Structure 1
Amino acid sequence: MLTTQGLQEAGTSYYRVGRSGTGRERPEIDALMPDPPIADDLSRDVYCVLGIPIDAIGMRGVLRRIRDAARQRTRLLISTPNLNFLVTSQSNRSFRDSLILSDLCTVDGMPVVWIARLIGIPIRTRTAGADIFDALKSDAGPATSLKLFLFGGPEGAAERAARTLNSQSAGLRCVGWSNPGYCSAEEMSGDHIIEEINASGADFLVASLSSQKGQSWLQRNHQRLEIPVRAHLGAALNFQAGTVRRAPVFMRRLGLEWLWRIKEEPYLWRRYWNDGAAILRLLFTRVLPFVASTWWMRRTHERGEALTITQDYGSREVTLSLSGPADARHVDRAIPVFRSAVAVRKRVRLDFSNVCAIDARFLGLLLMLRKQLESQGCSATFVGVSPQLARIFRFGGLDLQ
């Protein structure tokens, strides 16, 4: 039976194990040339943290993605998960889905960075929404400025932020703003509002609403909005408008920006208290058990063992049988196999009977595989999952159903 390891040694990129008319397996080599780089979700360096995707990407990579999307006029939905996002996603499925459906998820809050480090994710610092905004301001001169549309925020804040931006020689130029007032995501999705936003010809739409309303509004209008880059960047608009002062750099580096925010906006104390209590529970009931379980499974296989994947292309579904450690070291081996399976637009059945270890990076890849399949109306099912492996899936937040 063919494996990805054997075919890679033979110099092939993709292979397919289908079925002949007699029911016997037969290999079909799709291509012998190296794969061109493909900008899809499977290409992302993404990790699964309590069920949400976290991209291990620095500021330079984020800016490059934004400018490429603006230049090519391709959709790029950015989410910036902080502690509140992480906590809310555990009880609000639609909010969690809005993060999974995003094209890029950068870490906003230091508590999320600390959790990521504990899990073993190579993230050393956060890439907050306000930091992305500031970096774009200083990233280029007026000749290459990104055109910006500001949506939401307190009364008058968007206009003040626009005037401040346009008075500076910066990498951002505001071409419009709108404040729909206090209403639901449905009410602020009227045709006249969306038409006004689209007519601006902006490159980057920044929403400044509550986290749940902002994510919901962006998802609701994903196909209607014509501005290529969209993001809900939290309090970034307020910082630009000067209605809220941002914490000093040393407090941000120490993870104490929340204390400063309470000083600036006292009503936030209740949210931070509830989120703090919730993350402590998650730490002891999910995060630490995940770390312990993945560590224990790693000890059960030899260090030199490799992941192999066999493919069986049936008439109605694709079966991928994995054997060995499904971890960060072998993600590059799995990506082309998963991409081939997605390309045929069938159900995908993943057999984990012979998987001896798994980690947050591979769970992130599975999260992206499921996302791409569901966007095509297909599905991914996981079979042969041992009780120990099932615990890791549960602690990591990836549903088996």
Structure 2
Amino acid sequence: MGKNQAATKPIGQLKIIPRSEHNISRKHISKNALKVLYRLKDCGFDAYLVGGGVRDILLGLQPKDFDIATNATPEQIKSLFSNCRLIGRRFRLAHIVFGRDIIEVATLRGHHDEEQENLGKQSEHGQLLRDNVYGTIDEDAERRDFSANALYYNIADYSILDYWGGVEAIANKQIDLIGDPETRYREDPVRMLRAIRFAVKLDMQITDSTAKPIKTLAPLLQNIPKARLFEECLKLFLAGQGLNTFKFLVEYQLFQQIFPNLAEQVADTNSKTYALITHALHNTDDRVNRNLRITPAFLFAAFLWYEVESAKAHYLSQQVPEHDALFMAIHAVLDSGQYNVVIPKRFSSTIREIWLLQPRLEKRAGKRSLKVLENPKFRAAYDFLLLRAQVEQGDLAELANWWTELQQSDELIQKDLIAQVSDDKPRRSRRRNPKRRKKPQQ
């Protein structure tokens, strides 16, 4: 494997921006990140705040994470911090743990060459499978993905090192990939998802050269581990801009690679699947932006609901009883492997409960309604019913309104509401055992 050719154009002239010419102050950086930066510096290592932390402060935003780059190796970092743990095989990283706050520290990356095959490895598609080749800050700057993320805040003198015109890209609101886009996307196809996420999150435009190869290379996402794609989905859809992100992902043929089983449905903006997904994302964005609790289970339940409906109809056509048909359909959809994410059990179990409660919400007679109200997952199932009603209207909207009124009513009105409804199937009369005749006394 020859030298990595990620950057096809030479490094631009390094621009060092002194403290007096930028707006980054130590008061913008978390105390724990500063502790790590100063410990590394005081022990003789170079230490930089990098990536999104620098970018967001320059944009006047509060960074969510503070990532650090250094010329110290992971083992040297671990020797400096008793609260350090080393993670990752593909990318070796150090996590410095301060309670619930984790500061991620990466050793400056270098280029791959034939003498380092035990440290760096690429697949036949050009994807980096192992990347623990360390280098200089100049090489690390070439390895960064977007120019806006290739900025280094130097704790030694509080200057910013700008190798690829990142400050200018931020000012121009541009997402611009460093190097040859096709090579960079092949190295890590998730960069295509990151381009969309950053463009939506930061209200920026993807440059033409960065956008052009995405549709062609989108199928490379199918080579990414399903667990990693699930984590990427959380970043894409649970950050408060999920609806716009979804529309861009569909436009660039990326959503269809994560959920190939939904490709046909999301291509049709008039389909029930498309409507349910967009309503769910709109509601999720609203809850995120109001700091309300959300769960990925609800969103994935919406993504896959009409797949369950279709599978259930298939089993019903084979004369399978309705209750069994639903169970079989849920199993077929969740366990089929038709989509390229793996949903952790803590979420898939909630998805099953939401789906299984939908037909129970339709059976309202007698004491059934009050029992369903007591179910721990009732609220999630009810919210899901409201979502379905937005799409399907008709009887489902009437059903949703009935459950809304039931929750808001006192005990007397609840009894009246329940008395007004009846199930589709008549209630069976309970058959009594005939009384045994007493034997005549002798």
What is the TM-score with the length of structure 2 in the denominator?
0.22
Compare CA radii of gyration and give the structure with the larger one: 2
Higher relative contact order (CA 8 A, sep 6+): 1
What is the TM-score with the length of structure 1 in the denominator?
0.24
**Which structure shows the bigger proportion of residues in helix conformation?**
2
**Which structure shows the bigger proportion of residues in strand conformation?**
1
